[in-house]
Structure 1
Amino acid sequence: MTTDTRPAVGTPGYATSSPELERWLARHIAEGFGAESLVLSMLRSGYNATFARAAVATAMGHRRAGPATPAATRAAVASPPQRQRQGEGEVPILFSLQAPAIRLYQQLLSDAECDALVDLARGRLARSPVINPDTGDENLIDARTSMGAMFQVGEHPLLERIESRIARVTGVPADHGEGLQILNYKPGGEYQPHFDFFNPNRPGEARQLRVGGQRIATLVIYLNTPQAGGATAFPRIGLEVAPVKGNAVYFSYLLPEGKLDERTLHAGLPVETGEKWIATKWLRERPYRH
Structure 2
Amino acid sequence: MADTNTRHSGKIPDQGALRAVGKRVRERLADNPAAYKLPTDRAEIWAVGAFYSPAECERLRDMIDGVARPSSVYEGAEDDDYRTSSSGDVDRDDPFVRKISRRIDDFLGLDSGWGEAIQGQRYLPGQQFKPHHDWFHQDSSYWDREMARGGQRCITAMAFLNDVEEGGTTDFTEVGLSVTPQTGALLVWNNADADGVPNLDTMHAGTPVIRGVKYIFTRWYRTRDWN
Which category describes the TM-score, using the shorter chain as reference length?
0.7 to 0.9
Look up the match of 1:280.
Answer: 218
Code of the residue aligned with 2:144 in structure 1: it is A
In the alignment, structure 1 residue 127 sits paired with structure 2 residue 55: no
Residue 83 of structure 1, CA deviation: 7.5
Asked if the contact 1:82–1:92 (Cα under 8 Å) also holds between the matched residues in 2, the reply is no
Asked if the contact 1:129–1:141 (Cα under 8 Å) also holds between the matched residues in 2, the reply is no
Look up the match of 1:92.
Answer: 34
Inter-partner Cα distance in structure 2 for 1:83 and 1:246: 21
The farther-off stretch of 253-262 and 277-286 is 253-262
Q: How does 1:1-290 map to 2 (within 5 A)?
A: 50=16, 53=19, 84=32, 92-97=34-39, 98-132=41-75, 141-153=80-92, 155-289=93-227
What are the superposed Cα offsets for residues 23-79 of structure 1, whole Å, 9 maximum, x if unpaired? xxxxxxxxxxxxxxxxxxxxxxxxx9827938x99xxxxxxxxxxxxxxxxx9xxxx
Residue 180 of structure 1, CA deviation: 0.5
Query: Aligned with 1:203: secondary structure?
Result: coil
Residue 175 of structure 1, CA deviation: 0.8
Select the structure of larger CA radius of gyration. 1
Code of the residue aligned with 2:206 in structure 1: it is G
Code of the residue aligned with 1:53 in structure 2: it is R
- Aligned-residue RMSD, C-alpha: 2.7
Inter-partner Cα distance in structure 2 for 1:206 and 1:99: 28
Give the TM-score normalised by the residue count of structure 1: 0.65
Inter-partner Cα distance in structure 2 for 1:215 and 1:278: 19
Residue 100 of structure 1, CA deviation: 0.6
Inter-partner Cα distance in structure 1 for 2:84 and 2:140: 24
The alignment covers a number of residue pairs equal to: 207
Inter-partner Cα distance in structure 2 for 1:163 and 1:273: 29
Asked if the contact 2:135–2:191 (Cα under 8 Å) also holds between the matched residues in 1, the reply is yes
Query: Aligned with 1:123: secondary structure?
Result: helix
Inter-partner Cα distance in structure 1 for 2:68 and 2:140: 29
Give the TM-score normalised by the residue count of structure 2: 0.82
Code of the residue aligned with 2:53 in structure 1: it is S
Asked if the contact 2:17–2:223 (Cα under 8 Å) also holds between the matched residues in 1, the reply is no
Query: Aligned with 2:198: secondary structure?
Result: coil
Inter-partner Cα distance in structure 1 for 2:17 and 2:110: 17
